Structure 1
Amino acid sequence: MAATASATVTEPSNQVVPIASGDPVQLNQYFASVGEAIDWKVDAASGPNAFSPLCGFDAKFVLHGAACALHFAWYNETGSPPSSTDLHVIIPAGSAVGTTFSGTDIKSDPAYKGGLVGFALVGSPTQQCTETHYSNPAWNRVCSGCNPVAPWITTLIYPSRNVPNAFYLAFEDGPTGATSFNNDGDFNDDVYIVSGVTCVGGGQACDTGKPGICASGFTQCTANGTTCKPSTAGTAEKCNGLDDNCDGQTDEGDLCPSGQVCDKGTCVGSCASGEFACPGDKVCNANGHCVDPRCKDVTCDAGKVCVAGTCKGACDDVVCPHGQTCRAGTCADSCAGVTCESGQVCDNGACVTSCDCLPCTGGKSCDTASGLCIEAACAGVTCTGGQHCQAGNCVDACSGAVCPAGQTCEAGNCVDKPATDSDGGVDGGGGGLNGPGASPSDGPADGGTLQSASVDDSSGCGCVVAGGGGGEKVEIAGLALAIATAFRRRRTRR
């Protein structure tokens, strides 16, 4: 196929197009009238000249500045010039400006061969516009007297700035010659907008390289191929474990009600008040967070976190479970909470075209349940929760995962490790004689009577120790101490 040109389009005769003519409505005037921020000269291109049809194809006749009335048609791009029988009319000759396509979707048309398609303005033998002009210049007449010898460019292509997956196709309709273009070069003879198509490589998930939620994007067609466009713009920061404003920091600022701090995406009580004590392996820092003692007085730059007393990249050494992405030190499903339009699905946080509408490439298969392209070997394979398909087999989603500091992988998710008491035991989150997390000296967890105990008062203190007798009574001093101890534990564990 012919190479794509951008910024300025030059004909084989070295004439730069488009150029202004005496016609009352020029391309630049039309674009301005419909609110398209398109520079008719700088943004002019001869490509993409072949397209992948999507679901919901549509076309509209938007500008007519010539005398000829010609068919607008599509054809299968096979690598060879299409014959007249390969041209399938979209908008018939003689249609009024404003006419929209009302036929069968290209993907559903029996004539569609499943690959790329091109568009053509079909010449008429009964009019002066006898020559068919193609979106792919390779099929146009060649200027044999030009240096270098090359086909004439008879279609300028502009991606719409306002309509997703849409392009303006602006044609010249006059017959070209062996040495002369024979057209005025304003490209306003017949102009159409086609939507529901994309270029090769368009509509795929990509990484923009930006921080936070702005990292997820999709490939958008340009004159020279594709570019990665963010699927969402930054928003005001919220306590949700995400970098909402795309500044490289997560949950920064005063985001929670008074007396609370944002911890791993949730507003929790601040340990600074003394009411909410930290687990035994953590200490309270100046911001009211429970942290590793080695990080208590460490302040890290934006985008970094303290691990064992050292500042490092928030996602350094982190390998998230399958299907999750590390964003500012947190492994999360980047599609959680994302709502896509009809015909789109979420892939890595970006709304991309469903594989039902855009065929998979690279030997992948379309998973109709999710609308995503998957390994061909995984087609028809269903895995249970916490697993995913790899090379046709269900494997643990935690396999190979390295969660952020303080977390462990369970059932395909990075979750906080259980907190521990100062004595090294697991903190059950409560206390008291019969409450959750009670220790043996607190009392039985089942709500029964206290276990037998003996009192060692040789030192003059009433200390409760584990007893062995099945029917011995607890000394009053020991019972009082046990109750007091349990009460203190309950106060510190709230």
Structure 2
Amino acid sequence: MVARYLRAALLACPVLLLAATSAAQVVQTDMLKTPLPQPVGVDEVKLATESWAYATTTAVNRDPMGTNVNGMTFGDYYPTFANGDAITLGGLFKFRGENIDPVADARTAPGYFSPSCGFTGELVLRGGDCEIKFGWYNVLDPNSTTPPKPEEIYPFLPEDVWADAQMMTHDTMKETITYQMECQPPLQNGFCPLAWDNVDPRQLDKKLWKRRAYDSGKIKEDPNYKGGYVGFAVIGNPSKLCSQNKYSMMEHNQRNAAGQAWVTTLIYQSKVDPEGFYMAFEDLPMAPDDWHKTGVNGNNATNDGDFNDFVFYVSGINCSGGGMPCTVPDLQGACSVGRTDCAAEGQMGMCRPIIAPGAELCDNVDNDCNGMVDDGMGLCPGAQVCEKGKCIEPCGTGEFRCDMGFTCKTGRCIENACVDITCEAGQVCRAGTCMNACDGVVCPMGQECQLGRCVDPCAAVECAAGKVCERGLCVSDCSCRGCKDGLVCGADGKCADPACANVMCEAGKKCSAGTCVDACEGVVCPNMGVCTNGSCAPGTGTGGSSSGGSDGGIIIGGNLNLGGATGTGANGSGANNGKPTVNDPGCACDVVGRSPAGGAALLLGGLAAVLWGARRRRQAA
């Protein structure tokens, strides 16, 4: 029973929502200003839980290894699953490890993106039976309200067809995404994939669909690409009910009687992949007088506004001002690491956290983000104390005695001048004075000071081909995204001073103005530590209410490393084949989202997709 187990433990690990300033909720442009997205209807939930058995109480007959089991339920294997998760945006994001709130994080702008070198698209959720394609188009003027002509939209995901399957030839059928994803009964009616794992709820070794990503190719070599930004569109079928195109740029969409564009698309920026976005569409036409109605004579189907009809995940694109490493204001410890979200043209995106606080561990990291490292009770077994990320015997016992100038207090050696001083969170005591732990610190190149220690966020990050690590995040190399003025693209794919772009220095050296110099030149280590070969050795420690040091480290979830040089790799933007790596058994410091791909071996083949519901069976027009 241990095998279910790792999966259960991983999903049981809580991902907490962080308070952050967010934009107002998206509303429809109708008279009522209907909030979007709307909740999924009861009938849809019943369809998933009853007809398709995606329910916590469903009895499991075979485990993921194909072994017959008794007395186990779907909820036992997926402890975070709640009824309805198989068909909702919330369930989709939960399963994919995204700390995305379907309501608070929904956006309608900017809707245009920089495609870097190329991008991939994947249908991750289908909850409607329209027959559409998915494509991209050039955005030469982000302020234009004129949609592209039909011939100016270039499909790169094939048509999602099921209704006419009986009339299609085998060769034609093979060209559809439904066929290529190998959708199986009971989902073979076209509402595939779902928002949760791709397993049969009763037979966990049986796959009901296969995930499939489609590549745009090297977009800059595509003769249709005109440079600059691109938008994305669901391409309607003029001969069917779903005849309207739906665009990622809101102003390109159909308009209401007042001349305002209907909201047909919601955009969510991935919290895991700096270059990933979810695009959720309502697929039915929208009449000028009522967005619920199709405007098609004799057709009673309605748009319900839950935005689970078609959800695509596109990776390899950037929005204006978004996806860049940043420091979150007013947050401490590991939680201060963030990424910028999308912004208006020429502005910087808001910095949002990518790490949520977790339980404190003895690992030299402020896991709970309260401004103090390794604080709290019960971090070590028995009488041991936590010191610089390691459980050790307390001072005053055995051979462990404090150095001159330090006093043993509560099992730790504390500077004499700091014995009776308690500092505020985020501060340390030095020479009897509370101060910011990073005051006066100049870390070695490529490192940054976090709560009184120099850490390299990229020390254990392995990025996929075409990606480089910046502050722990895998982003497209500079050959794709370019460099700021005054910098050039180096051979390593990172922007650099022109004088150092192609200079290779030996270990222990760094390039400065085109010359290799000692890597410790100009470095001021925390706590009076010593810099050797470009690394700060632990200093004398700190006193008061905070503890520190520069040894030890942490691998935080998928693609972020804070600290030492050890680690097991990364996922995030494609590294490790999208498989999450479990490095922290207690989930002491949770990444807000792990790999959006899920992990086949570890996550039982995680795919995500939001399904339909019984709300509307539509006939073809």
Provide TM-score, normalisation by structure 1. 0.64
* Partner Cα separation in structure 1 for residue 236 and residue 267 of structure 2: 22
Q: Go from structure 1 to structure 2 and tell me whether the alpha carbon gap of 1:233 and 1:206 turns closer, same or farther (over 3 Å shift).
A: same
* Partner Cα separation in structure 2 for residue 28 and residue 360 of structure 1: 50
| Paired letter, 2:304 | D
SS where residue 8 of structure 1 aligns?
coil
2:336 aligns with one of 215, 221, 228 = 215
Q: Is the 1:208–1:230 Cα contact (8 Å) retained in structure 2?
A: no
| Paired letter, 1:199 | C
Larger deviation: 267-276 or 49-58? 267-276
Aligned to 2:268: 159
Aligned to 2:304: 186
* Partner Cα separation in structure 2 for residue 123 and residue 335 of structure 1: 44
Q: Go from structure 1 to structure 2 and tell me whether the alpha carbon gap of 1:259 and 1:208 turns closer, same or farther (over 3 Å shift).
A: same
| Paired letter, 1:167 | Y
Matches within 5 A, 1:42-441: 45-53=107-115, 57-60=120-123, 62-63=125-126, 65=128, 69-79=131-141, 81-93=147-159, 95-96=161-162, 99=178, 103-108=214-219, 110=222, 111-113=224-226, 115-122=228-235, 132-140=245-253, 146=258, 150=260, 152-153=261-262, 155-159=264-268, 164=273, 165-174=276-285, 183=294, 185-186=303-304, 191-196=310-315, 197-209=317-329, 210-219=331-340, 227-231=351-355, 233-238=357-362, 240-252=363-375, 262-266=386-390, 271-273=395-397, 275-279=399-403, 281-337=404-460, 346-348=469-471, 350-355=472-477, 359-360=481-482, 362-363=484-485, 369=492, 372-375=494-497, 378-389=500-511, 394=516, 396-415=518-537
Aligned to 2:87: 34
| Paired letter, 2:247 | Y
* Partner Cα separation in structure 2 for residue 162 and residue 418 of structure 1: 37
Q: Go from structure 1 to structure 2 and tell me whether the alpha carbon gap of 1:237 and 1:368 turns closer, same or farther (over 3 Å shift).
A: farther
Give unpaired runs (5+ residues) of structure 1.
420-494
Q: Is the 2:453–2:526 Cα contact (8 Å) retained in structure 1?
A: yes
User: Cα distance, 1:295 vs. partner?
Assistant: 3.3
User: Cα distance, 1:170 vs. partner?
Assistant: 0.8
User: Cα distance, 1:250 vs. partner?
Assistant: 2.1
Aligned to 2:172: none
Q: Go from structure 1 to structure 2 and tell me whether the alpha carbon gap of 1:387 and 1:138 turns closer, same or farther (over 3 Å shift).
A: farther
SS where residue 214 of structure 1 aligns?
helix
| Paired letter, 2:314 | S
Q: Go from structure 1 to structure 2 and tell me whether the alpha carbon gap of 1:66 and 1:192 turns closer, same or farther (over 3 Å shift).
A: same
Listed one character per residue, the Cα deviations across residues 160-181 of structure 1 (whole Å, up to 9, x for unaligned) are 789852413314553766x886
| Paired letter, 1:211 | Q
Q: Is the 1:6–1:45 Cα contact (8 Å) retained in structure 2?
A: no
| Paired letter, 2:262 | I
Q: Is the 1:44–1:157 Cα contact (8 Å) retained in structure 2?
A: yes
Aligned to 1:486: none
SS where residue 530 of structure 2 aligns?
strand
* Partner Cα separation in structure 2 for residue 368 and residue 65 of structure 1: 47
Larger RCO, structures 1/2 (Cα 8 Å, 6+ apart): 2
Q: Go from structure 1 to structure 2 and tell me whether the alpha carbon gap of 1:320 and 1:234 turns closer, same or farther (over 3 Å shift).
A: farther
* Partner Cα separation in structure 1 for residue 399 and residue 40 of structure 2: 80
1:8 aligns with one of 2, 16, 26 = 26
CA RMSD for the aligned pairs?
Answer: 4.8
User: Cα distance, 1:105 vs. partner?
Assistant: 2.7
Q: Which one has the bigger strand percentage? A: 1
Q: Is the 1:73–1:88 Cα contact (8 Å) retained in structure 2?
A: yes
SS where residue 428 of structure 2 aligns?
strand
Q: Is the 1:173–1:189 Cα contact (8 Å) retained in structure 2?
A: no
Q: Is the 1:49–1:118 Cα contact (8 Å) retained in structure 2?
A: yes
* Partner Cα separation in structure 2 for residue 267 and residue 92 of structure 1: 56
- In the alignment of these two chains, the number of paired residues is 406
| Paired letter, 2:281 | A
Provide TM-score, normalisation by structure 2. 0.52
* Partner Cα separation in structure 2 for residue 34 and residue 119 of structure 1: 23
SS where residue 120 of structure 1 aligns?
strand
Q: Is the 2:443–2:523 Cα contact (8 Å) retained in structure 1?
A: yes
Q: Is the 1:387–1:412 Cα contact (8 Å) retained in structure 2?
A: yes
Q: Go from structure 1 to structure 2 and tell me whether the alpha carbon gap of 1:267 and 1:406 turns closer, same or farther (over 3 Å shift).
A: farther
Listed one character per residue, the Cα deviations across residues 428-479 of structure 1 (whole Å, up to 9, x for unaligned) are xxxxxxxxxxxxxxxxxxxxxxxxxxxxxxxxxxxxxxxxxxxxxxxxxxxx
Q: Is the 1:159–1:222 Cα contact (8 Å) retained in structure 2?
A: no
* Partner Cα separation in structure 2 for residue 256 and residue 404 of structure 1: 25
Q: Is the 2:253–2:262 Cα contact (8 Å) retained in structure 1?
A: yes
User: Cα distance, 1:65 vs. partner?
Assistant: 4.6
Q: Is the 2:508–2:518 Cα contact (8 Å) retained in structure 1?
A: yes
How high is the sequence identity, in percent, across the aligned residues?
32
SS where residue 405 of structure 1 aligns?
helix
Aligned to 1:490: none
